[in-house]
Each structure stands twice: as C-alpha cells, then as structure tokens.
Amino acid sequence: MQTGFFLNELMQPVQTFIAAGQTVVFATPSGKAPTADQKSNDVSFWGGDEKARQESLALLATLKLTSKSDSPAISFAQVQKIGYDKFDAVFVPGGHIPMQDLLKDKQLGQLLTNFHEKGKVTGFTCHGTIAMLSTIPDARGFVSALESGKQPAAPANWIYKGYKVTAFTDAEEEQAKGFLGGGHMKLFPQDGLTAAGANFSEAKPWSENVIENREVISGQNPQSAKAVAVAMLAKLK
C-alpha cells in the first residue's frame, strides 16, 4: 500500500507555526524526503475551503519538502547531533506512514523520551499519535505481537502510561476502509495505544477533538490538525 503523510495534517500546523514566527525543522528516519499521500489532496480535509488548500500546497512547493533532490528534511540522527536541547517542541503528523515506521523507530523513541523527561511540548495528530509506542524499550517486539493478533502485556514503566490521548479511532478506521484502496492495516492506533497503557479518549467520528495531558497534545483526526498546532503554541508561551 503506497502511502505518506496527510497533507493538511502537516501543512496546516506548519502554516500555523510559521505564522507565529517559529522556525520549523523537518525530519524523517533516514533524512529522505517525505512523501505526501495523494489521496489526502482533497479539499474536504480543509473543510471545503479551496483557497486554504491551495495555500497549503503553495507553501509545500516553496519549502521543497517532498523534492527528492532539494528537500530540507534531515535524519533523526542529525537531530540528535544538533542536540535535542536546541528544539522547543516536536510535532508528528498523521497519514498511514507512521503506522509503518515511526511506531517502532528507536531514534524517534529517544527523542520523545528526552522531551518527556524535560516536559517539552509534544504534539501528535491522527495516526501520528501511534509514534508514542516508539518509546517502549522493545517497541518492535511489542508492535509485532499486536500486528500478529496477540495481546502482549502492557510494557512496564512505559513513559506515557496513563496519559490521556487521542488518535484516529477504530470507528473512523471502519468508516474510512474504502480510502485504503483495498489495502489492509494490521493495527489501529486506538488499539495499539490502549494496549500499551494509554487512556484513550474519543469523540464523535470526524469531529475536532484535541486532548492535552501534561506535555502531550494529541488530535483525533485531520479535522483536529490545526487546533493541535494552536494548542502547542499556547503551551510554548
């Protein structure tokens, strides 16, 4: 299944951060240019506002983020080399791609653990919230067990245990099955986060829902992306 980041889930927050005077650094596991999920290039994800969609696409083009030769994206290793203390906040957008790599990426887990220990603003939207699992010591084994249909014990001393969070819900997954074009997901965010020990909160499907608990701010779906960014900025003040 070809996938990538959801356009509005990345670009609406990026636009919000830049408008507030923030410097945005883009990072991927290996530093390769990220890929946008072309199915997310639908005006409905901007609430039917075509002008807003075009503004997001224009900024994406200006940033050259998805350019294979000129993307400004750096690797998680480079972020660590620069120093986690140089960054005020971290934001993980959704799209189905976090379900393939971010949820078990050790370097992302190190970054999130550092931010957790220092109480630094940490934001997620939609499927991006599953990246919290990367902080589990044996994230790969835990995720593999879940994907194979097993029910592993919740990891002991998980740093986000008991956190109230939200992500794309099981109900929304069922309603969005046609969006995958015949593809199949081995694990849903709600199930993975709950199994790990998070306190999952859900609102009506496709409604804006942002949950703030300690340093973590999470949004349920594409409709919540901009509100997550606004909440993150408020917490940074």
Of the listed ranges 52-61, 118-127, 182-191, 214-223, the least confidently predicted one is 182-191
What pLDDT does residue 65 have?
Answer: 98
Pick from 134, 85, 133, 92: which is nearest to 110 by CA? 134
Contact 103, 16 (CB under 8 A): no
What pLDDT does residue 130 have?
Answer: 98
pTM: 0.95
User: Averaged over 25-33, what is the pLDDT?
Assistant: 98
Inform me whether the pLDDT recorded for 179 exceeds 90: no
Average pLDDT, the chain: 95
pLDDT cut 90: percent of the chain above it: 92
**Amino acid symbol at 25:** V
What pLDDT does residue 181 have?
Answer: 56
Inform me whether the pLDDT recorded for 225 exceeds 60: yes
Inform me whether the pLDDT recorded for 12 exceeds 60: yes
Strands 74-75 and 216-219: unpaired
* Residue 5: φ, ψ to 5°: -80, 150
User: Averaged over 52-81, what is the pLDDT?
Assistant: 98
| Domains of the chain, CATH where assigned | 7-236 (3.40.50.880)
What pLDDT does residue 180 have?
Answer: 55
User: Averaged over 185-212, what is the pLDDT?
Assistant: 97
Question: What tens digit of pLDDT does each residue of 86-129 get?
Answer: 999 999 999 988 999 999 999 999 999 999 999 999 999 999 99
Inform me whether the pLDDT recorded for 183 exceeds 70: no
Pick from 80, 88, 94, 75: which is nearest to 13 by CA? 94
Inform me whether the pLDDT recorded for 182 exceeds 60: no
Question: What tens digit of pLDDT does each residue of 70-91 get?
Answer: 999 999 999 999 999 999 999 9
What pLDDT does residue 3 have?
Answer: 77
Pick from 62, 85, 48, 75: which is nearest to 14 by CA? 62
**Amino acid symbol at 226:** K
